[in-house]
Amino acid sequence: MKTFLVFFMSIAALPAWAESRLGVNFRWNIAHHCSNTSPVIQIKNIPPGTVSLKVQMVDLDNKNHDHGGATLNKPEGFPAELEIAAGGLDKYTGPCPENFTTLGHEYQFNVSALNNENKNLASGSAKATFSAKFVILQGVIGNQ
């Protein structure tokens, strides 16, 4: 029975192995407050065959607010690593939490790598709090 259960569990996990994990990284700065200029976003582990990258920002504290993002297309395929320049997301609305000076909100960038059949090859995300205190502290820690 244990052998059957282990075999069944390994078969059930196969689809999860087929999708790889993207490395996603970004950093807030004070200029992003209520700005529609997206931060620099670094993406790693982009699998071969990726022709589109779908990037979406989500406010984890207010899921009813659509912050948009972009779908980047490159028919010849993306390299394994990419840095999306500041302002590189054309349908992006920046963070402007009403409690910016105190707790702020937590935001997450979700990225999906898609092939020419629009199949998800990999996905990843990164999140960070956006508040005056956090952004200032991040700058102090980052400059040491």
> What is the greatest pairwise CA distance in the chain?
60
Question: How far is the C-alpha of 112 from the C-alpha of 93, rounded, in Å?
Answer: 19
Q: pLDDT truncated to tens, each residue of the chain (144 aa)? A: 554 444 444 444 444 444 579 999 999 888 888 899 999 999 999 999 999 999 999 999 988 888 999 999 999 999 999 999 999 999 999 998 777 766 788 999 999 999 999 999 999 999 998 887 766 666 544 433
Q: What is the pTM of this model?
A: 0.79
Residue labelled with tokens 């105190």: 102
Q: How far apart are the first and last CA of the chain?
A: 57
SS3 24: strand
* CATH number 3.30.30.60 is the correct assignment for the domain at 21-142: no
Residue 5, both tokens: 């259960």
Domain ranges of the chain: 21-142
CB 4 within 8 A of CB 23: no
